[in-house]
Amino acid sequence: MAIRAKLPLSLITASCLAVLLLLLQPCTAARPIHDTGTIDGSRSRHLPLRGSRLRGPESVAFDGADDGPYSGVSDGRVLKWNEHARRWSTYAYGPGYSAKACTASRTRPAEVTESMCGRPLGLRFHYESGNLYIADAYKGLMRVGPGGGEATVLATMVDGVPLRFTNGVDVDQVTGEVYFTDSSTKYPRSQHERVTQTGDSTGRLMRYDPKTDHVTVLQSGITYPNGVAISADRTHLVVALTGPCKLLRYWINGPKAGTSEILADLPGYPDNVRPDGRGGFWVALHREKMELPLGPDSHLLAVRVGADGKMLQAMTGPKSVRPTEVMERKGGKLYLGSVELPYVAVVSA
């Protein structure tokens, strides 16, 4: 019989933390942040959702008239914020939506209902037409016309392969073409942890042409593509790679069209990426690479990255906030979405 030596509790705890870090750190080291002033994300006001079990305003969008924000939530709807009334109202929903069937309860959480009711993730308006494009994790790429209502499903399958985890979306405001991601062809959103844990590299970057109603796969075999944003000069796309903690640049115009390269290594796990209005991008970080459960209650919420991939600015805040998107608006207001919180946060830069 083997004899077990009793180890000190402190040593056991330290060993467990070390193992946990090894399991959760597939990312490489990031370049330093060239700080132009850290933003305190804890100093924010909230746009609260109504409903005790309503959660997860993941993405934040504004329409061509600068109204909003709009955001998709855990029961499958897209909501619109009315600043004067200080409340959200239903703007859009997918086919088959039912308020009775899609409202979560103690015995029927949103994780159960979302496969039927849908889960809107990325949102983006085409300003000229007024159409809102929705990347729904379960229903695929959808579109709803001006005024909202029931959305039309545009694509559930591309090249014979189902859209299993539709995630990010952006629109070329000049051509009207829509770019979107499918994070995995193996795992749905309900198993998103498996995408990172297994190193799944079946993700795809795609383009939808509203003139032809055709979807083209631009690049496949990508490791956890999440948010996507078109550059200010419309020459390339920037795609957040969650598992690898990187930004991918995919060229859509110019001599490099059809090729891709790594733009930046990030200090955390990115979700959505949105333009900062200065040629760069805001990247929401769900978690830092070296984040420990103990210690100060503060971590990186987001970083601002320049067109060259250099990190220019950081936003910090409490560990209870796990942002999925940062959208910068006029006057320096930053709107933060999250899949876990019952509100959209507004931070002044």
* Active-site amino acid positions: 325
Angle CA(240)–CA(27)–CA(303) in degrees, nearest 5?
A: 50
CA end-to-end span of the chain:
64
* Residues 6+ positions from 305 with CB-CB distance below 8 Å: 247, 263, 264, 280, 281, 282, 283, 311, 312
Residue at token pair 């399958």: 157
Q: Which of 190, 280, 201, 291 is nearest to 242 (CA)?
A: 201
Q: Which of 220, 121, 129, 136 is nearest to 172 (CA)?
A: 129
> What does each C-alpha distance from 170 to 28, 289, 335 come to in angstroms?
27, 27, 17
Residue at token pair 């990010």: 168
Backbone φ and ψ of 94, nearest 5°: -85, 170
Give the C-alpha separation, 257 to 277, whole Å. 24
Q: Which of 245, 142, 151 is nearest to 196 (CA)?
A: 245
Give the tokens for residue 348. Answer: 């002044």
Give the C-alpha separation, 126 to 233, whole Å. 17
Residue 193, H or E segment: helix 192-197
Question: Using an 8 Å Cβ cutoff, are 55 and 49 in contact?
Answer: yes
